[in-house]
Chains A and B, each alone.
Chain A
Amino acid sequence: MPGAGEPEERGDFAGIVPEPVLGPFRRSVAWLDDRTGFTGLLHNALYEAVPKQGGWAYTLGSATLVVILVQFFTGIFLLLDYVPSPTEAYQSLLYLRTNDFFGDWIRGIHLWGAYVLMLLIGIHALRTFISASYKAPRELNWISGVMLFFLVLALAITGAMLPWDQASYWTAVVVTNIPHYLPVIGNGIRALWRGGNFVGPVTLTRTFALHVWVLPALLLGLIGAHLYLLRRHGEFGSWVNYETTTDNPEKEIAERIRHAEPPYPARGSQPKYAVPRETVDFFPDQVFKDTVVSLGLVVLIFVMAVLSGAPLDGPANPATLTYVPTPEWFYLPLDQLLVFFPTALIGFGVFVIVGIGATLMLALPFIDRNPERHPIRRPDVLVPAFFLIFTVIYLAMLGVNRLYNL
């Protein structure tokens, strides 16, 4: 929509161009717009070109954002009651359960929101991976996304430690113990996190500070960067958006670049992948699809929260002889690795394997320099990656089998 978003400079010509007579509401909006320029911002935000085909596949990022906002929203309510002290944390959640209207729903939404978020980020990353959206110029979009994934994992594990029931106490013991397998600095990190040699009140307050302030602040900053980069380079989409339909592909691509709407053509991209064949405005076409998917997921979270809720074990008891600590499902592959690496190799198993995995994920755009975007023509990357993904799933299944004897 060229022209429609140009800021109007009518104020400079007052007296020459007659001002339209506006009602009080419109006058207030006009005043606010004059002082803030918000309609221009809104216009830029909504009328951005996005690829036309495959829009349903591109709803995963906005759905992730919506679920993260749900986590912020419900988290604030949990903060109103929760007391981060070993002697009171569990009591405060019992109080929330029995005294607050919908207290269980709020906790349930926060828990199921976390589960859905974990799956959603996985699918979002998988979609981006299969469609090779991480290639130039979008390497940093991918890297910021991987860092967001790590942050969400850290939020999940610190959040699991807060209720101070049996499950969360033993999670705290095992998780804060892991750093001590690092050479040289390991014992120090464990002592700093725990506040001493044993898990105690300082462990809880430090984990609480990480979960409700440090990690969310980092998350918001990184989300900002992720979205800024998305808008700078434009949504890549996938190979279906770049197929040529005429018998003169070079001319067709040149035409596309000539008529591209911002943010296309993508800077630093090969000409073939610089501009999607057809684009639509982000609003309402993409926003509609995004909203349908987000609504579906929020309904799913809500239904699971109401039906299944958030469990609360017995209160933390360090003197138990019968409790079997089990990790949250998304940490099962790591837990299974711990079984496989006995004695001297524990540090290797935990840090080298996980470190290699994290480095591979972060460095993917620089490892895969093949210009091809179609998944069929990228077996060199897709086959090993799917082998790794199935290995992780297989490890999780082994863990389920070991812990639950299925």
Chain B
Amino acid sequence: MSQRNISRRQFMVRATGAMAGLITAMLSVPAVGFLLSPLWQATQELWVTVQGGPIDDIPENLPTARIAAVPLGFGPSTPPVNRVVYVVKTGGQLYAFCNICSHMQCDVHWEPSLDLFECPCHGGLYAMTGRNVGGPPPQPLSQWVHRTYQDAMGHTYLQVANRLVEQI
């Protein structure tokens, strides 16, 4: 029977390494989990009605900026944040664009002189239907997840959820 001897010194070196590793592992589990938790946090879907009354009187082919107080749906509770909803009626379609540029997420606005949405940061351009038609944007304008409802008087209201149709 062969007996493997390790010296007292070797024992201490290895045991110290093992204990330090254990300390590191114990701290790493909660640290890494804590750090990565936003990746698994579900955003609570919350709906709000777009401000400014019914959207019946918004004319065809004229993108109109409305405000919606959108709750984030994640993180420590905070009051809802005002966001822009560009309501566009064109070709029998209703769009509810978010004015976040798909390039660097600057604030896009409707520019009547160009008949396009324009981004002030790097000159991104979008058509009325949200299609990216100029500058660096890689994707069309994204829309808020939205729906309409009619009240008893027959007025149409727009509601948006706190997420975009397509993540940009």
Identify the A interface with B (CB < 8 A). 85-87, 170, 173-174, 177-178, 187-188, 191-192, 194-198, 200-202, 317-325, 335, 338-339, 341-344, 346
B112 adjacent to chain A (CB < 8 Å): no
Q: Are B104 and A177 in contact (CB under 8 A)?
A: yes
Cβ-defined partner of A343 (8 Å) among B35, B106, B136: B136
Q: Are B43 and A323 in contact (CB under 8 A)?
A: no
One of B5-13, B20-28, B117-125 at the interface: B117-125
Cβ-defined partner of A196 (8 Å) among B75, B79, B135, B136: B75
Majority secondary structure, B binding face: loop
Q: Are B103 and A196 in contact (CB under 8 A)?
A: no
Cα-based distance from A174 to B106 in the complex (angstroms): 7
Cα-based distance from A338 to B35 in the complex (angstroms): 30
Q: Are B84 and A174 in contact (CB under 8 A)?
A: no
Cα-based distance from A323 to B76 in the complex (angstroms): 28
B130 adjacent to chain A (CB < 8 Å): no
Among residues 2 to 56 in chain B, which have CB atoms less than 8 Å away from a CB atom of chain A? Answer: 35-36, 38-39, 41, 43
Q: Assess A346 versus B84: contact at CB under 8 Å? Given A202-B74, A202-B75.
A: no
Q: Are A197 and B167 in contact (CB under 8 A)?
A: yes
Cα-based distance from A318 to B99 in the complex (angstroms): 10
Q: Which residues of B contact A323 (CB under 8 A)?
A: 107, 120
Q: Assess A177 versus B105: contact at CB under 8 Å? Given A197-B43, A319-B84, A341-B136.
A: yes
B78 adjacent to chain A (CB < 8 Å): yes
Identify the B interface with A (CB < 8 A). 35-36, 38-39, 41, 43, 65, 67, 72-76, 78-79, 81-84, 99, 103-107, 109, 120-123, 135-138, 163-164, 167
Q: Are A325 and B109 in contact (CB under 8 A)?
A: no
Q: Assess A191 versus B120: contact at CB under 8 Å? Given A174-B106, A177-B104, A201-B78.
A: no
Q: Are B67 and A319 in contact (CB under 8 A)?
A: yes
| Residue ID in chain B nearest A322 by CB atoms | B109
Q: Assess A318 versus B35: contact at CB under 8 Å? Given A196-B41, A200-B75, A201-B76.
A: no
Cα-based distance from A318 to B83 in the complex (angstroms): 6
Q: Are A197 and B163 in contact (CB under 8 A)?
A: yes
Smallest CB separation, B24 vs chain A (Å)? 19
| Residue ID in chain B nearest A341 by CB atoms | B136
Q: Are A200 and B83 in contact (CB under 8 A)?
A: no
Cα-based distance from A201 to B75 in the complex (angstroms): 7
Cβ-defined partner of B78 (8 Å) among A87, A192, A194, A322: A87
Cα-based distance from A268 to B45 in the complex (angstroms): 64
Cα-based distance from A323 to B138 in the complex (angstroms): 22
Cα-based distance from A240 to B50 in the complex (angstroms): 71
Q: Which residues of B contact A195 (CB under 8 A)?
A: 38, 74-75
Q: Are A325 and B83 in contact (CB under 8 A)?
A: no
Q: Are A321 and B104 in contact (CB under 8 A)?
A: no
Smallest CB separation, A17 vs chain B (Å)? 44
| Residue ID in chain A nearest B164 by CB atoms | A197
Cα-based distance from A198 to B81 in the complex (angstroms): 11
Q: Are A174 and B105 in contact (CB under 8 A)?
A: yes
Q: Are A170 and B107 in contact (CB under 8 A)?
A: yes
Q: Which residues of A contact B83 (CB under 8 A)?
A: 318-319
Q: Are A321 and B84 in contact (CB under 8 A)?
A: yes
* Contacts A/B (CB < 8 Å), 6 sampled: A195-B38, A318-B83, A338-B122, A342-B135, A343-B138, A346-B136
Q: Which residues of B contact A324 (CB under 8 A)?
A: 120-121
| Residue ID in chain A nearest B71 by CB atoms | A200
Smallest CB separation, B105 vs chain A (Å)? 5
Q: Which residues of B contact A202 (CB under 8 A)?
A: 38, 74-76
- Centre residue among A173, A174, A188, A197 by max chain B CB count within 10 A: A197
Smallest CB separation, A211 vs chain B (Å)? 17
